[in-house]
Amino acid sequence: MAEPKQTGTEVSEAQIAVHWKEEETYQPASSFIAQANLTDSNVLERYGLDNFPNCFKEYADLLDWYEYWHTTLDHSKPPYWKWFVGGKLNACYNCVDRHLPKYKNKTALHFVPEPEEERIEHITFQELYVRVNEFAALLRDFAGLKRGDRVTLHMPMTVDLPITMLACARLGVIHSQVFSGFSGKACADRIVDSQSRVLITEDAYYRGGKLIDHKEKADIAVAEAEKEGQKVDKVLIWQRYPGKYSAETPTVEGRDFFVNDVLKNYKRAVVEPERMLSEEVLFLMYTSGTTGKPKGAQHSIGGYMAYVTGTSKFIQDIHPEDVYWCMADIGWITGHSYIVYGPLALAASSVIFEGVPTHPDAGRPWRVAEELDVNIFHTSPTAIRALRRVGPDEPAKYNYDFKHMTTVGEPIEPEVWRWYYNVVGKKKAVIVDTWWQTETGGFLCSTVPALHAMKPGSAGPGVPGIHPIIFDDDGKPLPAGCGKAGNICIQNPWPGLMQTIWGDDERFVSQYYRRYCKNPDSKDWRDWPYFAGDGAVEAPDGYFRILGRIDDVINVAGHRLGTKELESAALMVSEVGEAAVVPVADPIKGKIPHVFVSLKPGIPASKEIEQSITDKLASEIGPIAKPGRVWIVPDMPKTRSGKIMRRVLAAVANKQDTGDTTTLANPDVVEKIKQLA
């Protein structure tokens, strides 16, 4: 098969020999094991490749089906896998309606506003049912949305967001939620790609003590989308304080509508859940890839719901009586799978936190945990590093009791892991380090919390039913314990895996399957390993340590940013001739982007140009894309064929050795760039 496009990194992960110090392991507490959902030590055998794909019946059986499926896995058209074929279900019904007989008065969602003086809202399953039905009626009858339509959500962390998602799911409308921190322009690109004619937003939200006007981004999004040929005819605006408009931006007559006003016409409406086919689409989640355009990972209903429910039960150890808090944003896949769909399908109480964890101080998360009796806590290494830096002794001051904690989104340093375990988890909570991706729907590698020892910095083996393998660049498997890093792949399909890239099957195949496909004509799933795009190393005990992306993607605080997206934003500044973006190690965020630019001839470097580049990245993509530094360089280091050597730039920015640069077309420029450091 064709080799993938050469990326910016000249030394591939597979060539790096890794000499990690093996960390000591930690055993799960017996109090945890005594109550755990999964304690059967035969589980990995039960989910072995010999029993594939039937093992996943156990996951599907956690759901209620209108019609039971007849085929577990249809693999007649690789790599377009179809799970639980013939089955009919509704995701909203599984998260809400089916819990009413037993749990209607139990809290489904705790909404914790950022301002501490505001009351926490506790929404029962009954109340959730009422709100979701009323909003579904509005979407159907007022917005004219129906099964299969796409709708873009650009909503912050309020309880209105899961209500909106569930209302869409009830109708069979495909939601595409865009992270609220993304700019209006980024939202527009996703509106266009998904062909949404309705945008759902919120007027304002709190972040770091400020009530931010969010509506202004909707205006930009609609205008930009229209320029690209996609008309949005309705903007539905939830209000942070229902009945009061909290944004300064004016509304547009005939296009903008306050949800709260329109909802009055749908009081006590009840909408029958659509009986959806297992393989119909639940949502799109856009993520960065190696080219500029974000790609919409398309997730199914049956496979996805089965997978997130199963992994929430077995890896997150969620029981209905648990209070579960995942501090991610619902605008990312973690929030979809492990704040909304997985926990609610299991009737847990899920916490939604509006704000910044360190605001007003680093004790805030632990006060929330104490007040709500949170017993399962889920966050990212970036948040853990920040809390450790500003409030290392804070957790000890609060009386909460975690049984289980998760880390997700980026590699965690063993030192940071140990603080999480000793101080946050009080040496009692079990930790799972879960490795996965937007594309994969749910976890790929993690320890099973009651069965496996924990190892700081290692995600662990594949979760039940997931069979990872590391290949070198030539497609040769690298055995456990060989000390070499390579490209981690998954040998088998699984129900949570995306179906394709929305509207771009070719990209789906070329990005995830072409590299290691053994035979493109084969209908046997064994010939189609999934290529994740991460470098990894497997220890002798079968635990995987994930090293990070091998493509042109920078993982900033657990969020994927494509270097190409950042570079194209920098190139929009008129003085910029060439731009190259590289990842630089950061003590809190893991990695941050540095932008290198050379200016058009005759233009002198200035602080103003640096500032306009920073501003451009923030306005095009969002504040998370703000570079740590803009370097204006006299010229880019280039190969003789004219390719920018990002590796050299990355070495300078990371204060590392630039290695041999004599083969460059312009080796002297490297010295000049070093002097800028």
| Cα Rg of the chain, angstroms | 24
Paired with 235 in beta bridges are 199, 256
Shortest separation between residue 559's beta carbon and ligand PRX, angstroms = 6
Helix (H, G, I), strand (E, B) or coil at 559: strand
> Which of 111, 332 has the CB closer to ligand PRX?
332
Shortest separation between residue 378's beta carbon and ligand PRX, angstroms = 11
Given a contact cutoff of 8 angstroms between Cβ atoms, the answer to whether 95 and 75 are in contact is no
d(CA 656, CA 589): 19
d(CA 102, CA 390): 43
> Which of 156, 535 has the CB closer to ligand PRX?
535
Shortest separation between residue 333's beta carbon and ligand PRX, angstroms = 5
- Could you identify the residue written with the tokens 């070198």? 472
> Which of 174, 550 has the CB closer to ligand PRX?
550
> Which of 363, 460 has the CB closer to ligand PRX?
460
d(CA 623, CA 212): 13
**Secondary element (H or E) of residue 404:** strand 404-408
> Which of 215, 560 has the CB closer to ligand PRX?
560
What string of DSSP letters covers 208-221?
A: TTEEEE-HHHHHHH
Shortest separation between residue 269's beta carbon and ligand PRX, angstroms = 35
Catalog residues that contact ligand PRX under the rule CB under 6 A: 287, 333-334, 408-411, 433-438, 459, 532, 534, 546, 548-549, 555, 558-560
Shortest separation between residue 532's beta carbon and ligand PRX, angstroms = 6
> Which of 140, 591 has the CB closer to ligand PRX?
591
Shortest separation between residue 459's beta carbon and ligand PRX, angstroms = 5
> Which of 294, 303 has the CB closer to ligand PRX?
294
Shortest separation between residue 440's beta carbon and ligand PRX, angstroms = 8
d(CA 590, CA 580): 19
Shortest separation between residue 237's beta carbon and ligand PRX, angstroms = 28
d(CA 249, CA 253): 13
Shortest separation between residue 672's beta carbon and ligand PRX, angstroms = 33
399: tokens are: 């009386």
d(CA 490, CA 492): 6
> Which of 279, 410 has the CB closer to ligand PRX?
410
Helix (H, G, I), strand (E, B) or coil at 623: helix
d(CA 192, CA 190): 5
Helix residue spans in 246-380 (DSSP H): 259-263, 302-314, 333-335, 342-345, 364-372
> Which of 113, 456 has the CB closer to ligand PRX?
456
- Residue 671: HSE in the Cβ half-sphere, 13 Å Cα cutoff: 4
What string of DSSP letters covers 73-96?
A: EE-SSTT--EEEET-EE-HHHHHT
HEC readout, 411-445: CCCHHHHHHHHHHHCCCCCEEEEEECCHHHCCCCE
> Which of 133, 287 has the CB closer to ligand PRX?
287
Given a contact cutoff of 8 angstroms between Cβ atoms, the answer to whether 46 and 72 are in contact is no
Shortest separation between residue 214's beta carbon and ligand PRX, angstroms = 22
Number of residues that this document lists for the chain? 677
How many helical (H) and strand (E) elements, i.e. helices and strands, does the chain have? 21, 30
Output the residue with the shortest Cβ distance to ligand PRX. Answer: 438
> Which of 183, 446 has the CB closer to ligand PRX?
446
Shortest separation between residue 86's beta carbon and ligand PRX, angstroms = 30
Neighbours of 29 (CB within 10 A): 15
Shortest separation between residue 484's beta carbon and ligand PRX, angstroms = 18
Strands 174-177, 150-154: parallel, antiparallel or unpaired by DSSP? parallel
d(CA 450, CA 319): 14
Neighbours of 484 (CB within 10 A): 17
State the burial class of residue 548 (Cβ atoms within 10 Å of its Cβ: 0-12, 13-18, 19+): middle
d(CA 182, CA 218): 11
> Which of 139, 431 has the CB closer to ligand PRX?
431
Shortest separation between residue 418's beta carbon and ligand PRX, angstroms = 16
Shortest separation between residue 290's beta carbon and ligand PRX, angstroms = 12
- Could you identify the residue written with the tokens 């055995």? 479
> Which of 92, 550 has the CB closer to ligand PRX?
550
Angle at 586 between CA 581 and CA 588, to 5 degrees: 135
> Which of 217, 559 has the CB closer to ligand PRX?
559
> Which of 154, 215 has the CB closer to ligand PRX?
154
What string of DSSP letters covers 536-552?
A: EEE-TTS-EEEEEESSS
Distance from the Cα of residue 538 to its chain's centroid: 24
669 vs 284, 605, 640, 672, CA distance in Å? 44, 16, 14, 5
Shortest separation between residue 316's beta carbon and ligand PRX, angstroms = 13
> Which of 279, 329 has the CB closer to ligand PRX?
329
